Amino acid sequence: MEEVFGVEDYPETDTSPKAKRQEIDEKPAVDCIDLTTDSPASTHTPPEEDDSKLSVISWNVDGLDTDNLAERARGLCSYLVLYTPDVVFLQELIPPYVQYLKKRAVSYLIIEGGENHYFTGMMLKRSRVKLVESEIVTYPSTQMKRNLLLAQVDFKGQKLCLMTSHLESCKGHAEERMKQLRVVMRRMSEAPDNVTVLFGGDTNLRDTEVAKVGLPSSVCDVWEQLGKQEHCRYTWDTKTNNNKNIPFVSRCRFDRVYLRPATKDGVPRLAPDHMALVGLEKLDCGRYTSDHWGIYCSFSSG
């Protein structure tokens, strides 16, 4: 797999997405990400924003598919330049993909949820998010080596608990997936009341499974909270995304973001104010950055 990224030693062609910003009220970080110089996104100048707003991207980057992987990793980096998220939740990373990100996205601290095969990770913008500690929680009965990655961070004086996971895949593993969701929800609901908890990841969940488990009253599904907007419902959509060449149409909301605001008096309450899908543009190699669309969310303090 390491050889997949060997093309980086040669002059790069422009494989970045010809993306246009979608109603994102962000301003660029002062310490711009050190990425490919040929990315049109690197000259993008977003409008001014409220400096206290938190921005997040969650994305299964499909590192297990090594076809065009270097170009697709460059595509991810171009979206990071375009949207300048404070926090990035990633799933299906592989070691050489992480090494590429560490080389290119120098203004982010990268936390890995594993070392071998494939795993999750987080990226924290160094200038805005300060890591306090991180933890990996193993799911006891997983057959796919899945876990829950947590990070306690400070964001503009606010205490956040960030979580990401890649829940058990495939329809036949619904019971294990629901067990894992219960672990996530328990950790979210048990966090101290002065901490805001934010989860983003590839849950592989079906709505019937969520209904069986039930969300704690303190936890909201961000997509539902924002009015169940149709344009960002399906994060796995073979009707449009042909990276996998699947011969049938499958449209699912596998990737989800959950929020449990802090409730203690005097502590700012984060609330979602925007969601959009990212990665909808084909790269010059003719494929998308991933077989999943990424989710962009922004949150305001109230």
CATH number at residue 111: 3.60.10.10
- Nearest alpha-carbon partner for 93 in 12, 181, 164, 174: 164
pLDDT, mean of residues 88-94: 98
For residue 271, the SS3 value is strand
Burial class (CB in 10 A: 0-12, 13-18, 19+), 198: buried
Which pLDDT value is given to residue 9? 37
Q: What's the structural domain count of the chain?
A: 1
Quick check: is 175 in a domain? yes
pLDDT digit string, tens, across residues 30-88: 334 455 433 444 334 343 455 789 999 999 999 999 999 999 999 999 999 999 999 99
144 or 20, higher pLDDT: 144
pLDDT digit string, tens, across residues 238-249: 999 999 989 999
Quick check: is 30 in a domain? no
**0.75 exceeded by pTM:** yes
Residues with catalytic function:
202
Quick check: is 189 in a domain? yes
Give the domain extent around 273.
2-11+48-301
For residue 231, the SS3 value is helix
Quick check: is 188 in a domain? yes
Give Cβ neighbours of residue 62 (< 8 Å, ≥ 6 apart): 72, 92, 243, 290, 291, 292
Quick check: is 212 in a domain? yes
Which pLDDT value is given to residue 34? 52
Q: How confident is the model at residue 149 (pLDDT cuts 50, 70, 90)?
A: very high
Q: For residue 298, what are the β-bridge partners?
A: 55, 274
Quick check: is 31 in a domain? no
Average pLDDT score, the chain: 88
Quick check: is 17 in a domain? no
Quick check: is 33 in a domain? no
% of the chain residues with pLDDT over 70: 83
Distance CA 26, CA 28 (A): 7
